[in-house]
Chains A and B, each alone.
Chain A
Amino acid sequence: MTVTLTNPLRVGLRQERVVSPQCLVIFGASGDLTHRKLVPALFELFRQRRLPTEFAVLGCARRPWSDEDFRGHMAEALGDLVHEHRGAWDQFAAGLFYEPVDLQQPEHLVRLAQRLEVIDRQRATRSNRTFYLSVSPKFYGSGCSALAAAGLLSDPERSRVVIEKPFGRDYGSAQELNRIVQASAKESQVFRIDHYLGKETVQNILVLRFANTIFEPIWNRNYIASVEITAAETVGVEERAGYYESSGALRDMVQNHLTQMLALTTMEAPGRFDPEAIRNEKAKVLQSARLADELEPWNCCVRGQYSPGGSAERPLAGYRQEPGVNPNSTTETYVAMKLFIDNWRWQGVPFYLRTGKRLPKRMSEVVLTFREAPVHLFDAAGGSPTANQLILRIQPDEGAGFRFEVKSPGSGMRSRPVDMHFSYDESFGEPSDEGYVRLLADAMLGDPTLFTRGDEVEAAWRMYTPLLELIEDSPWQLPVHPYEARTWGPAASDSMLGRDGLMWRRP
């Protein structure tokens, strides 16, 4: 294994903002997300000296744990990390507390409020609170209402609430959830999380576009022929069958992660780097986006479901054979679609989105394909010149690439495509923080830039409403095509692009 030396001159150079004194209250503290993502992210923030000494975490769930139980479970879950940093963990763990709470029981909220006051005195957290709802989505609305009824969200300067995805199941339910949440707290207190926005490479889309002058003049319908956004996973449904059966790829990936990548790729430049300015532009572009054929969505969308595949040595079960999945399930594990954005910048440019499980590669990327040169002066090695492509690699091998034509060596004037690569690893050689580190810190700092606003979420759901209605009302019009596990999805998906004279990029 290659070991990369750390850059000693880089250590400590970033002076990140320190979170203000506060107590982070995690509902669903006995759940998977807390010990897999949240507490590790908090411990990382602690080790980066970005948490003040006046800080506490109060875990809440229905299990009758004590503070010590909670600390023990978290230490166990973090395993080696705790052993490697024992001293730091002991300091951090002293700020971990636990209170058994059922959000549906008003008297529990009273007890919670009292416990928070005690913690304020113990840890000098000055009544600043961030409530993190890491609970079942069906409790998001009632959870916010319960917190508001207990007076825990009454101070907009001192209290915030973080809500995990999915925010709603469709346009109507998202509207309803927004109504309940916004009746409980001001929009400035609400942080709807989409962990894709915590990724460096997703944030880099903004920097690439708006910190460089070379891209902006060509970032439009005059120069860009099409855009592909892909999020491919190699894993199957794993232990999430219960959730996945009721969501599918469209709700699980497209409405949030892919749509956020779409918004960042297509939004107008904000007037300033300010949370509301950025979210305004994202909301505006999503409000202009639509399925390519809203009246007959089956023309612009393909659903698929993985069937058995793999190799003789390592066979892979099909989706319907996975534990917990209905053997006759019609839930899609793959979805591809074509969108348009009706505005001056993007009118007529097709956007192709695809995501799927059990595909051959784990990767996410945005590919901008430019228009061909108007006149072909040279012979091309491949018959015709390859269109220029800008590839933003979100994960893995984070970075960017640009494909362009050059003269092929030798006599004559033949052209051939070459690739220019930028790799985060080669340039920086340092792993970037896990998305939750960034997002948790931002939420506790009250910075909503990387969180989705209520109107953004609604615009995203509204875009997919014709599809969701079709799947609900006449699923036979949008059949689920089987595809062999570890292949690039159903053939119908290739045909959808083929009708436009295009092919999916095979990364």
Chain B
Amino acid sequence: MSPQLTLQAPVALPPPELTDYLDKLWSHDLESSSGASTFTLLVWQPAWVEQHLVRTGRLDGPVTGVVRSELLEAAREAVPACDLPLSISPLSPKLAWALGQQIGNHPIEDLRGQHIDSAISAFQPRRLITLAPTLNHGQPLETLVAAYCPLPGEGTAAACGDVVVLRGDFGALQQGLQLLQPLVPADLPCWVWWNGSLDEAPELLEALAEPGRRLVIDTAMGTPRRCLDLLESRVASGGPVNDLNWLRQRAWRESLAMVFDPPSRRDALNHVVQLDIDVEGTHPVQGLLLAAWMADRLGWHWVESHAAPGDEIRAEFERTDGVTVQFHLTPVPVGVPSSHPGSVVGLRLICKPPGRQALCVILCSESGGCMRLEAGGMARMELAEEVVPMGHATDEWEMARLLGGGHDSTNPLLATAAPLAAKLLPNA
């Protein structure tokens, strides 16, 4: 399904009139409709790559903030043009920065916040607030408002919502923060989706992600240390946090669990001696989260980590029976990287049960082969090899799953994996 636009063209209002306008809208114009008793979704939507691609004429507008195939294609083409390594992901902040150095002055039609992915609109947010920072320094704060109701026949009752867009340069948006508090209905859950790099605007992120709000971040976007520290601190503070990078790794967790579903294989999990994970490019967070999840589930104790040549990460765990488990995380260059940096592309687990044939489990991504992991004496082991399907879910779809799931706390698996992943990342 394609994204939907709000039916009503948004009204541009002077910022001080925003709250009054919304009150009037609900008490008069939409009086006959029951407002959706659902949730507020607050989105930080910089869409830097998209804005720069449109500005430099590499992509036709408008800018929507929704990742679409044309955007990914244009971004992939821009990677070599910006003299970046081919393994840079098309949504990487590095590409946004490089594009920012290029000249171009094409006009940008900005529809961020008004272009709602149908997966999200299906859950009828009561209020969708978008913070849309612009490239133009000095652009003052603009506020746009639109109401929307489901199309006839979409639902049994007219449960309407509204859309609020705050647009301007970074300074203007910071000023706009004071407008936000009264805009978030106190009696409904509020989700905050930080749909940008975690390196940028930390104080704004702090301000948006109040403790009771359900924060959604993407630890593939930002420097690995910042991403893992933020995740860990949010978990430690007890504030609900979800990570799209963690969700995108779902197929790897599921595939690995599937290998050990047959009861005859389960004992091998007590005898793991080596774990190898390959990731695309040099962003290790997804691979570390996967290793941390396994270590937590299997009761391994972290001993030490260190950086190795070629951006490798090596670590040691100790099993509950005192035996050492070696862990290697290896960045591998790829020709056509996934849309997000650091996707896992391979996993190898070697189990050596005493007195029995060793078991080697190899999982590899649909996008690549397993040859690297198949090397090294695997022929003498029982081999369990699976291909992990590539995730085709967009971030909007993942968001929709979160919204539909209704969970008001951090996934317990993520909560235990996050601090361990932070330990696994060697300090620079």
Q: Which residue of A lies closest to B413 (CB)?
A: A12
Nearest-neighbour CB distance to chain A for B161, whole angstroms, equals 15
For A20, the chain B residues whose CB sits under 8 A away are 406
Contact between B263 and A5, CB atoms less than 8 A apart:
yes
For B264, the chain A residues whose CB sits under 8 A away are 426
Q: Is B11's beta carbon under 8 Å from chain A? A: no
Q: Is A36's beta carbon under 8 Å from chain B? A: no
Q: Which of B256, B261, B264 has the most CB of A within 10 A?
A: B261
Q: Is B68's beta carbon under 8 Å from chain A? A: no
Given A157-B157, A426-B263, A13 and B257 contact (CB-CB distance below 8 Å): yes
Contact between B404 and A17, CB atoms less than 8 A apart:
yes
Contact between A18 and B406, CB atoms less than 8 A apart:
yes
Contact between B269 and A10, CB atoms less than 8 A apart:
no
Contact between B261 and A15, CB atoms less than 8 A apart:
no
Contact between A429 and B266, CB atoms less than 8 A apart:
yes
Q: Once the chains are docked, how many angstroms separate the CA of A286 from the CA of B294?
A: 48
Q: Once the chains are docked, how many angstroms separate the CA of A20 from the CA of B299?
A: 33
Nearest-neighbour CB distance to chain B for A46, whole angstroms, equals 14
**The one of B37, B156, B266, B411 that contacts A15, using a Cβ cutoff of 8 Å:** B411
Q: Once the chains are docked, how many angstroms separate the CA of A157 from the CA of B34?
A: 11
Q: Is B298's beta carbon under 8 Å from chain A? A: yes
Contact between A9 and B408, CB atoms less than 8 A apart:
no
Given A8-B298, A426-B263, A15 and B407 contact (CB-CB distance below 8 Å): yes
Given A18-B408, A156-B156, A11 and B262 contact (CB-CB distance below 8 Å): no
Contact between A9 and B260, CB atoms less than 8 A apart:
yes
Overall SS of chain A's interface: loop
Q: Which residue of B lies closest to A186 (CB)?
A: B156
Contact between B256 and A9, CB atoms less than 8 A apart:
yes
Contact between B404 and A428, CB atoms less than 8 A apart:
no
Q: Once the chains are docked, how many angstroms separate the CA of A222 from the CA of B37?
A: 51
For B269, the chain A residues whose CB sits under 8 A away are 7-9
Q: Is A4's beta carbon under 8 Å from chain B? A: yes
Contact between A9 and B263, CB atoms less than 8 A apart:
no
Contact between A427 and B257, CB atoms less than 8 A apart:
no
Q: Once the chains are docked, how many angstroms separate the CA of A188 from the CA of B405?
A: 21
For B266, the chain A residues whose CB sits under 8 A away are 4-7, 429
Q: Is A498's beta carbon under 8 Å from chain B? A: no
Q: Once the chains are docked, how many angstroms separate the CA of A52 from the CA of B266?
A: 33
**The one of A17, A126, A186, A429 that contacts B261, using a Cβ cutoff of 8 Å:** A429
A-side interface residues, number (CB < 8 Å): 29
**The one of A9, A12, A19 that contacts B294, using a Cβ cutoff of 8 Å:** A9
**The one of A11, A12, A18, A430 that contacts B405, using a Cβ cutoff of 8 Å:** A18
Given A9-B257, A10-B257, A13-B253, A4 and B263 contact (CB-CB distance below 8 Å): yes
Nearest-neighbour CB distance to chain A for B139, whole angstroms, equals 40
List residues 420-438 of chain A with CB under 8 A from any CB of chain B. Answer: 425-430
Contact between B261 and A10, CB atoms less than 8 A apart:
yes
Contact bitstring B156-175, A, C-beta under 8 A = 1, else 0 = 11010000000000000000
Q: Which residue of B lies closest to A189 (CB)?
A: B156
For B412, the chain A residues whose CB sits under 8 A away are 12, 49
Task: Give 17 A-B pairs besides A5-B263, A7-B266, A9-B269 with Cβ atoms closer than 8 angstroms.
Answer: A5-B267, A8-B269, A8-B297, A8-B298, A9-B260, A9-B297, A9-B298, A13-B253, A15-B407, A16-B405, A17-B405, A18-B408, A52-B408, A156-B157, A186-B156, A426-B263, A430-B261
Residues of B near any A CB (own CB < 8 A): 34, 37, 156-157, 159, 253-254, 256-257, 260-264, 266-267, 269, 294, 297-299, 404-408, 411-413
Residues of A near any B CB (own CB < 8 A): 4-13, 15-20, 49, 52, 126, 156-157, 186, 188, 425-430
Q: List 12 A-B contacts (CB under 8 A).
A: A5-B266, A9-B257, A11-B297, A12-B413, A13-B253, A17-B404, A17-B405, A18-B408, A20-B406, A52-B408, A157-B159, A426-B262
